[in-house]
Chains A and B, each alone.
Chain A
Amino acid sequence: MAVSIRDNLSPIQTSPQPVVRNDVGHSSFTLTIDGKTVQAYENQTLLSVAVDNGITDIPNMCNDEKLEPTATCRMCLVHIEGVKQPLPSCTTPALPGMVVTTKSDELFHIRRTNLEMLLSDHNAYCQPPCQADCPTHIDIPGYLELIAKGSMKEAARLVKEVLPFPYILGLTCPAPCQKACRRGLVEEEIAICRMHGHAAETCLLDPPHPFVKDPPTGKKVAIIGAGPAGLTCAYYLALKGHYCKVFDQQPQPGGQLRYGIPEYRLQKDMMDREIDHVWSLGVDAQYNVRLGRDFTIDDLFAQGFDAIYLGIGAWTSNKLNMEGEDAEGFVNAISYLSEKVEGKPVPVKEGDEVVVYGGGFTAYDCTRTSLRLGAKVHTLYYRTRSDITATFEEVEDGINEGTDLQVQTMIQKILVEDGKVKGVQCVKTKPGEPDARGRRRPVPVQGSEFVINCNAVIPAVGQAVQQDVLEDKSGVKFTKHGTIQTNPHNFMTDRVGVFAGGDAQMGAKTIIECVGQGKLGARSIHAYLSGEDMKEVARRLELEERHPDLFDIVPYKPVEPKVKMPMLPYEDRKRNFRIIEMGYMQEQAEREAARCLQCACPAAGQCDLQKYSIEHGLADNRFHDGEPTDYHDYDMDLSHSFILRDPNKCINCTQCVRVCHDVIGPDCYGMFGKGFDTIVSTPFNVSLHDTDCVSCGACVQVCPTGSLMMAERYLKRYAFALDRCIFCGDCVEVCPHGALGETPNFELSFFNRFGPDVTLDKGDLATAPDYLVRQRLPRSKKNLPVMSPLVRPLPPRGIRE
């Protein structure tokens, strides 16, 4: 390693060059930037020369054209021929004949390391990964914050904006959001999913409506299938003012929610309460009717429906394709579960020995239902344990409830005797050679065959859509995977006006994905009914669903243990179908929700640090898991009415310091502390409210990150002492939002947030003795009374009335 020492900043030597003056007398000369000969004027910096000449990709985070450059961020470093050390282009004056390089591996490395350094002490996040990973994109930080505050009904309303069934999903969702939770990088993820279940449970009988229902549009939509996708679609279409009618082949609504999910995971009486929210919006339903048997798509159009949504689900179990599938004791998984729900006799009874084959949710539902019926259960799966698609909790629970889980075991043959299943012959497997796509299909291990004796075999190896319900002449086509073919973004099938979603369109997937599709289907149908161009709708929906460029860094956070969901003890689960998740108490829910890191930044998308970090390919924190002294955890300064300060996001670019001192004038910011603890703060670190701040918002404008943000306005009414106003107009000039304006007649505009605009003129002032009563203004903004005696509401009137 070269040990270079000493300050090797040496003066820049350039070749002398004749100076040319332009027509206004500015002397100009030429230099070379990235091989391009450009013209520059005396006293210009390299950065501005580059920008003037169209080289705009020199990154910089601390420079603004109206400010004196200081070169704190070290991002705009460039090489200058003849100078050993890279120099920042924002401060280096352009000289005639300079040869400048703005891109090189060394510069890229320095810039990227700068960003890594900044991010290692950037105690903040950009976007919540949970929200991106949730198929319905619930505002998770939002509702968790509401739950932590105790506003359960408002939290449920927020969830219902995108998910009509927070209670049902709270119990049944596999929670893809929780896998992405950043809290898991600190200690354990948050029970995000169970939280909205809790919030919704508190107001099941008094449901909040996500939006005000639109007036009726007169359009009619038929929805086939009362499952999660269909009901979600109906819910949002009804809110949009369309008339919806749901058709279902079963006697009761819910689809797989009711007929696929056992009682111990979801109590059907509670489920009905939440599904009632759909009917309360005026949605009609007709049961025991089946598409293809009792009616066709053309019948529905003939009845006057304007659009049709196919949420027919995937109700056929895949076959094993081996002998003995018609023997007694060979059980269809889906009809087994639905018969159990309906209270019909099922082919499994106490003392039976049952083999369940598969590793998905259905396999586990069958396993645990059979266990509750008193059977001895073997769960077989032909891949490894980490390949099981059911959740980890479900696998653990299955074992603890008594199943005999055998992974890497494949059924070879069903042993039948007298038309009855007697057992299965199995073989152990091992992962085979990776195929072209890198997947390792399991292959049998020779000589490891063994037999399990049993009375029943329940294969749960996937479900398929029933294709016979749709005739060819309906115009709806199927894909090669046996699902309904639609446009991937607007979900319209090949027949105009017919949309599809849910399992029928995707193949058997999770409930939450079906709900997400139902929601998008409703948006698409609404757009169709409003007469929009469906290509444009597809483009819009695709953009909305695009996975955002997430960028996150895990700073130091204190450990806060997870509040575990109280579960029914294993010994109490035998021979009954009581719900196993007993639910949180309110305090437990509030404590758990308060663990949310609130990892959403309002500046995401406009943040320079985020932009450059993504550009430089950064996705990890090289300095995770240090001591608390390695990171800063500052308090936010929320004292100011208009400007929020979060020093945790500050990168010390000092743009706010310079703009406040040099451009605006009050000098509210400065650097505070030294060494690693340096931070931009106010003089003597007082709160911004106590400085000379004029609320101009210039600091917010220049802030390259989300450290300074405009506050949401909470003031309902502003106190204004009319008797003191001298009509100087200063308030009009500094108002960053243009809320105050001058009128040609020298009147005073009087703004009232919840009332109409009021205008007074000088005459009012003179003739109104009440206004001349002198009264002290309230000292503190925080304790401002709603109305001061001087600011009384006036009846609205025009300027010349």
Chain B
Amino acid sequence: MPDFDASYRVLRRRGEPDLRSLDSYRRTGGYSALEKAIREQTPEQVIQQVIDAKLRGRGGAGRPTGEKMRIVSRQDDDFRYVICNAYDADPRSWAARSMMQRNPHLVIEGVVLAAYAVGAREAYIFTRSFFKEGIDAIQQALADALEANLVGRDILGTDFSCTINVLGVDQGFMGGEETVQIAVIKGRRGMPEQRPPYPAQYGLWDKPTLVDCIETLANVPLIIRDGVPAFTGVGTATTSGTKVLTVYDYVPDSEPKLVEVPFGATLREILRHAGYSRPDSDLQAIIVGGAEGGALPPSLLDTPFDYDSLEEAGAIVGSGILELLPANTCMVGWARERSGYLSKESCGKCVPCRIGMKRVTGILEGIISDLGVKSDLDMLDEFADYIPAGSLCAFGVLAPNAYKTARRYWPEHFRMHIEELQCPTGTCLPVRAHRFITKHVLP
């Protein structure tokens, strides 16, 4: 059992000292990392420390952050940007809003450090417009930091300048995608662009742009301040550090718990730490990764929380949400509800995601209405391969996850609906009067 209490780094817990004011933040060692880096280290040294710390992107993809910084800094261009993704695509995640609200200076320090590392003079904090308290706190913190010459022109008397803009936007689920944020800043409709070319090479206003999650950037000052060995002290061999998670119980409308856990802790330990010690028999599934995540059965509760082990199990780190489903959940119904949500949240740009997800939802609706036939499953499997292969951005790549994991771990539920024409838990209500049929017309 890891030492959870020692793993709180970026998240401020209730009862801990308030770090919102500049003075209190500086008293705990705040901005010392920035001073150290700007006065004593070259950008390349900062990047090397991030690489040595094995910091992986907390936004869900888990790409090495240091490598990305190095690509941006080595681009042959005189202008670069940093975008801090504080958007929380899944509205059920509380990580970004909590961090902005309770630890705004850490975020600012992280953004300025990243800007220093890649040589950017302009940075954006891209967040949701309805995170009112978070935006207020970070604006106040920015004003204080500007006063103290920690942001803006000639930071700390050096010739390094970096302005930070806070953007409150509401673009639905897709607003969390990095190229969507670039498009929105440029004033276009929030739709992703095809990668490659990646934003690191060809980003905002066609300039190299570092887009990183707020949590990733908040970890950068800790690496510089405490040194690489202290940072890699927690976590696994491949992923060091901690992850902020939002944990939901299966009681409807219950408040989520926000916890910060070291990588490598098992799901069961995380749940216990969050205060949800449910017996396995009360659970149907645990959903790891938020709206695009996968469902894992209780037998996999001992899976360690890490990018690779979760990927193997079919789930993702994603938006950092753990959610419990009660034992009377029909997983076909759950997959259908998730697909329906995602088909509404798609940006509508590429065909597989826009129409494919709608059709997957339609077939699943047919199955829960007890109109399914066995060939529907073949068709669903076909589309579960087709949508990721054909989609433009990661949204489409991950969108069929709900169906895939439900089919992988609960084949019985599909069989009951299709062969016995009844819901395994008796909870599904019919939503369709007829199923899709293939109509052969003229040759």
Contacts and interface: CB of A to CB of B under 8 A. Distances in A.
A422 to B, nearest CB: 51
Contacts of B307: 6
A99 to B, nearest CB: 16
Interface string B332-349: 000000000001111111
A619 B441 contact: yes
Contacts of B405: 3
Contact of B438 (A109, A129, A620, A678): A620
B386 A110 contact: yes
Contacts, number: 196
Contact of B355 (A129, A552, A676): A676
A72 B349 contact: yes
B344 A674 contact: yes
Contacts of B435: 625-626
Interface in B427-442: 432-442
Interface in A207-237: none
Nearest to B357: A676
Contact of A3 (B191, B408, B438): B408
Contacts of B62: 6
Interface stretch (B12-20, B78-86, B208-216, B393-401): B393-401
Contacts of A120: 355, 359
A74 B386 CA distance: 11
Interface stretch (A84-92, A380-388, A438-446, A489-497): A84-92
A117 B348 CA distance: 13
A72 B355 contact: no
A182 B193 CA distance: 39
A676 B358 contact: yes
B351 A623 contact: no
B438 A621 contact: yes
A554 B354 contact: no
A624 B348 contact: no
A74 B392 contact: yes
Contacts of A113: 352, 356, 382-383, 386, 390
A72 B346 contact: no
Interface string A27-71: 000000000000000000000000000000000000000000111
A550 B407 CA distance: 39
Interface stretch (A8-16, A517-525, A782-790): A8-16
Interface in A1-24: 1, 3-9, 11-12
B194 A630 contact: no
A619 B401 CA distance: 30
A174 interface: no
Contact of B439 (A1, A92, A185, A670): A185
B350 interface: yes
Given A554-B441, A676-B354, A7 B61 contact: yes
Nearest to A109: B386
A694 interface: no
A5 B443 CA distance: 38
B176 to A, nearest CB: 12
B439 A624 contact: yes
A621 B435 CA distance: 13
Given A3-B405, A5-B315, A93-B197, A74 B390 contact: yes
Contacts of B374: none
A551 B391 CA distance: 26
Contacts of A77: 390
Interface in B344-387: 344-352, 354-359, 362, 379, 381-386
A621 B172 contact: no
A180 interface: yes
A78 interface: no
B230 interface: no
Q: Which of A6, A120, A550 gathers the greatest number of chain B CB atoms within 10 Å?
A: A6
Interface residues of B, number: 69
Contacts of A671: 189, 191, 348-349
Interface string A620-649: 111111110010000000000000000000
A619 B197 CA distance: 37
A652 B389 contact: no
Interface in A668-693: 670-671, 673-679
Given A129-B442, A624-B437, A6 B316 contact: yes
A695 interface: no
A121 interface: yes
Contacts of B195: 9
Contact residues of A: prevailing secondary structure: loop
B196 interface: yes
A128 B129 CA distance: 51
A674 B172 contact: yes
A110 B387 CA distance: 9
B411 to A, nearest CB: 10
B384 A1 contact: yes
Contact of A626 (B174, B362, B384, B404): B362
Q: Which of A71, A113, A622 gathers the greatest number of chain B CB atoms within 10 Å?
A: A113
Interface in A700-718: none
Contacts of B356: 113, 117
Q: Which of B194, B316, B408 gathers the greatest number of chain A CB atoms within 10 Å?
A: B194
A92 B197 CA distance: 7
A293 B435 CA distance: 68
A110 B385 CA distance: 9
B61 A6 contact: yes
Contacts of B348: 652, 671, 673-679
B441 A7 contact: no
A550 B440 CA distance: 13
A92 B196 CA distance: 6
Contacts of A69: 194
A12 B196 contact: yes
Interface string A537-564: 0000000000000111110000000000
B110 interface: no
A162 B276 CA distance: 80
Nearest to A679: B348
A70 B194 contact: yes
Contact of B358 (A87, A624, A630): A630
Interface in A131-178: none
Contacts of A85: 388-389, 397
A680 to B, nearest CB: 10
A454 interface: no
A85 B394 CA distance: 11
A114 to B, nearest CB: 5
A26 to B, nearest CB: 18
A623 B61 contact: no
Contacts of A73: 350-351
B433 A627 contact: yes
Contact of B198 (A11, A72, A110, A626): A11
A5 B439 contact: no
13 contacts: A6-B397, A7-B61, A74-B392, A87-B194, A93-B197, A110-B386, A553-B441, A554-B441, A619-B440, A625-B434, A625-B435, A625-B437, A627-B362
Given A6-B316, A114-B390, 16 more contacts: A5-B311, A5-B315, A7-B60, A7-B398, A69-B194, A77-B390, A85-B389, A117-B351, A121-B355, A620-B441, A621-B441, A622-B438, A671-B348, A674-B346, A676-B346, A677-B348
Q: Which 5 pairs of residues, A with B, have the shortest CB-CB distance? A: A678-B348, A7-B394, A624-B439, A117-B355, A675-B344
Interface of A: 1, 3-9, 11-12, 69-74, 77, 85-88, 91-93, 106, 109-110, 113-114, 117-118, 120-121, 129, 180, 182, 185, 550-554, 619-627, 630, 651-652, 654, 670-671, 673-679
